[in-house]
Structure 1
Amino acid sequence: MVVTASSPSAPLIWILAGEASGDVLGARLMQALLARNPAIRFAGVGGVRMQEQGLHSLFPMRDLAVMGLVEILPRLRALSARLNEAVQDIEARRPDLVVTIDSPGFALRLLRRIAGLGIPRVHYVAPQVWAWRQKRVKEFPGLWEELLCLLPFEEEFFSRHGLLTKFVGHPVLQSGAQDGNAARFYQTHGLKEGARVLILMPGSRRSEAPRLLPVFGKMLALLQRDMPDVVPVIPVSPVVAATVARETARWPVRPVIVTEIQDKHDAFAAAGAALTKSGTSTLELALAGVPMAVTYRVNPLTAFMARRLIRVPHVAMVNLLAGRAIVPELLQEQCQPAVLAGAVRDLFENPEMAAGQKAAFRTVLEGLRGPGGMLPADAAAEAVLHLLANTAPAAQVPQSAPAGAEKAG
């Protein structure tokens, strides 16, 4: 059976997310779209959150959750096969619109492959070329009809290069990270109220966590000498929960591993300090008011190449948005047990440092509100529906042609 473009009253949106953060973003977007048009149908690739909104994922999202210049090499053949599968599904279904979310390594290749189909395309979360390899922006014209960005300075950056871009606000403001209940967390996990809770966030990808967890374990061994009451808590996505449990089985202190959103936010409310990878997790912690240090470790070759390409003064998102170092960045060679242990002690025992971070967090977060005070997911949904309403429908596949017969240009 040949599937043709949907009717205006029941549009089909093909949507893709490649990692846990994109899955959350996609779910909120789907929910906002359905609130405006309950007849909208979805196809594509996503995780648990998007599936809760009605998506039947073409293949497991975890197949795409990989990062790093070196780490991706062993996965190239499998990723290429998944790319072909996604292209063929779009060719067969002929959706009214395609939305790709973050994961630029996969998403931008997909957008390029389907360029000849005449289907309007939206990319949600701007590629961070303003941070490194800025010349890559010249490759983007023709990849999408509209780019939805999360950071206020991105709209001007991409518009300057002739790309239709809209700032919709940062989704961390909808995360609920500030609404946790500390007492509930202590009770749920049988902890003594007032215990020193330390949040450890090693990353949401299977390729990230194994690099940071061994260092975190050795750091905890050092902390036990003078801070034996520290309780490590690791919020992780279900994608990496088994990996984290395996990697931490021999730690000197067994961590509390949480996978539920509410439990994570309760942990934030109970926490006195955090060690986190760079990225959106810093904004979640900032929203919850948790003092933090940022740390990260990748393959040495990846780090060497990245340092030659990075064009921004800070790696941590909160520092980048603040324009100054409000939280410590302990990266690569500084990602060592003794260094991290010292940073944790400072966070717990220096109230002036903690208060200074929290004050700076509030200023940073104020700048992430969407246009007109609209919630980010609502602003994104409005942009998607506007494009859908103002773009001619994709050319239909002739009834005599076999499904998937048209190839992307």
Structure 2
Amino acid sequence: MRVFLVAGEPSGDRLGGALMEGLRSLVPDIRFDGVGGPLMQAQGLDSRFPMSELSVMGLVEVLPKFFHLKRRITETAQAVLDTQPDVLITIDSPDFSLRVAKLVKASSNIRTVHYVAPSVWAWRPGRADKMAKVIDHVLALLPFEPPYMERAGMECDFVGHPVASEPAATESDIHAFRTAHSLGDAPIVLALPGSRGGEIERLAPVFGDALHLYLKDKPEARVVVPAVAHMVDTVLGHVKSWPGNPVVVDPRALSADQAAQQKRAAFAAADLALAASGTVSLELAAQATPMVIAYRLSWLTQKMAERMVKLDTVTLVNLVSETRAVPECLLDECEPGKIAAALTQVAAAPDSQQRAMELTMDRLGRGGEAPGLRAANAVLQRMSA
């Protein structure tokens, strides 16, 4: 069996790696091709070009790279057509992935699977209808998504979220992390300004100013900033002026498993987190770390989002748990004073989010079959149906 996979950012690489592991356990002689990051490469993928080229977000950020991305879309689609895999699996990054699928479908009958349903329940519901023209099967991370995809004419399976199958950091892991970074017994505030360059450039200055306000009467507190490998230098440049003697967690010298373990330990060691919007809220919930979510977009992308977003919350913990337990400072509300006030509110009652975090993990499949294996089974079963 031959599978061509395309992932465009670290979260997609994580999903792709687990899916590939699941597929290999079910089809030992499987062969992989495509584009992915270190976790997919660890499963045997020889990426056709660096996945980091695709890790851009927002209209303003994409425009300078438009022609390069367009060329990569054409190259990737042609590689699929040339190799004629049994299935093309695109993973998240819909602006890139679905354009590849469209070109492939225009010239072949190759089966297409998209992993991560687009958030049509939040904005641009018409995307599902457009997607159905080029995608046969969707693997959904969230339990309420399949009806939206099926209504548009696609097959869809809820396969669980990989964060729900991750182990919780142990007390030994936490102690080792604190010792390795000379943190002692200090209170820890985790700062997570994103994994993309544009996000970090927009959010890091705001996060730094918010932390100055929040920590002004907490001289003993330390700030910890886990960074993705290709953004470590960028993060180091920003945190120089931050309070809390920041520790930047650098995964570059670690294996993928070691990096994941250290990240879990950092999350679990923290008393409180300030994070960008995204999957990170689920990672924090998995380690029972109370949080505040803050996010802003470039001006033009923000104006477009204000017109299209239909929900009163974007935080996945709030959505999956059907609560509003996690405070948000979004768009124009993403400013230092409001963020610091939200941090103070959560720090005063850190257990207030506990039930919502537990419910989220239960609904995402904690304790069940690993999502990567569920996804692999879904792919194979639909192909043989």
TM-score of the superposed pair, with normalisation by structure 1? 0.88
Distance, in Å, in 1 between the alignment partners of 2:264 and 2:309 is: 32
CA contact (8 A) 1:233 1:267 kept: yes
Question: Cα deviations across residues 205-255 of structure 1 (Å, max 9, x unaligned)?
Answer: 122111111112222323342011221111222122221122223334442
Q: How does 1:28-39 map to 2 (within 5 A)?
A: 28-39=18-29
Distance, in Å, in 1 between the alignment partners of 2:326 and 2:64 is: 34
SS at match of 1:143: coil
Structure 2 residue 187 is matched with structure 1 residue 196:
yes
The one-letter code sitting in structure 2 at the alignment partner of 1:267 is: A
The one-letter code sitting in structure 1 at the alignment partner of 2:217 is: D
2:115 pairs, out of 111, 115, 124, with 124
1:185 pairs, out of 140, 154, 177, with 177
Cα shift at 1:373: 3.1
Structure 2 residue 71 is matched with structure 1 residue 81:
yes
- Whose Rg is larger? 1
CA contact (8 A) 2:323 2:356 kept: no
Question: Cα deviations across residues 180-207 of structure 1 (Å, max 9, x unaligned)?
Answer: 72211111111112x1111111112122
Cα shift at 1:328: 0.6
The one-letter code sitting in structure 1 at the alignment partner of 2:305 is: A
Distance, in Å, in 2 between the alignment partners of 1:86 and 1:177 is: 37
Cα shift at 1:32: 1.0
Cα shift at 1:178: 4.8
Question: Cα deviations across residues 99-158 of structure 1 (Å, max 9, x unaligned)?
Answer: 100000100111111003121111000011221011222212231221110111101222
Corresponding residue number in structure 2 for 1:403:
none
Cα shift at 1:358: 0.8
Structure 2 residue 305 is matched with structure 1 residue 306:
yes
Change (3 A) 1:93 1:179: farther
CA contact (8 A) 1:151 1:169 kept: yes
Corresponding residue number in structure 2 for 1:111:
101
CA contact (8 A) 1:23 1:48 kept: yes
Change (3 A) 1:136 1:388: closer
The one-letter code sitting in structure 2 at the alignment partner of 1:384 is: V
The one-letter code sitting in structure 1 at the alignment partner of 2:136 is: E
Distance, in Å, in 1 between the alignment partners of 2:125 and 2:204 is: 32
Corresponding residue number in structure 1 for 2:255:
none
SS at match of 2:59: coil
CA contact (8 A) 1:102 1:125 kept: yes
The one-letter code sitting in structure 1 at the alignment partner of 2:227 is: V
CA contact (8 A) 1:152 1:367 kept: yes
CA contact (8 A) 1:66 1:207 kept: yes
2:219 pairs, out of 219, 228, 235, with 228
Cα shift at 1:386: 2.2
Worse-superposed segment, 354-363 or 336-345 = 336-345
Corresponding residue number in structure 1 for 2:292:
293
Q: Structure 1: 5+ residue runs without aligned partners?
A: 1-10, 391-409
Q: How does 1:9-88 map to 2 (within 5 A)?
A: 11-88=1-78
Corresponding residue number in structure 1 for 2:256:
none
1:97 pairs, out of 75, 87, 91, with 87
The one-letter code sitting in structure 2 at the alignment partner of 1:137 is: A
Q: How does 1:10-409 map to 2 (within 5 A)?
A: 11-115=1-105, 116-179=107-170, 181-193=173-185, 195-258=186-249, 259=251, 260-348=259-347, 350=348, 353-369=349-365, 373-390=368-385
CA contact (8 A) 1:178 1:287 kept: no
Identity, % of aligned positions: 41
SS at match of 1:234: strand
Cα shift at 1:299: 0.8
SS at match of 1:71: helix
CA contact (8 A) 2:291 2:346 kept: yes
CA contact (8 A) 1:179 1:265 kept: no
CA contact (8 A) 1:23 1:50 kept: yes
Cα shift at 1:58: 0.4
The two structures, once aligned, show a CA RMSD in angstroms of 1.7
Cα shift at 1:179: 4.8
Worse-superposed segment, 59-68 or 381-390 = 381-390
The one-letter code sitting in structure 2 at the alignment partner of 1:183 is: H
Cα shift at 1:362: 0.9
Cα shift at 1:28: 0.6
Distance, in Å, in 1 between the alignment partners of 2:136 and 2:119 is: 18
SS at match of 1:57: coil
TM-score of the superposed pair, with normalisation by structure 2? 0.93
CA contact (8 A) 1:234 1:257 kept: yes
SS at match of 1:30: helix
Aligned residues: 375
Distance, in Å, in 2 between the alignment partners of 1:78 and 1:366 is: 41
Question: Cα deviations across residues 276-308 of structure 1 (Å, max 9, x unaligned)?
Answer: 111211111111111111100111221111011
CA contact (8 A) 2:285 2:357 kept: yes
CA contact (8 A) 1:146 1:163 kept: yes
Distance, in Å, in 2 between the alignment partners of 1:177 and 1:79 is: 38
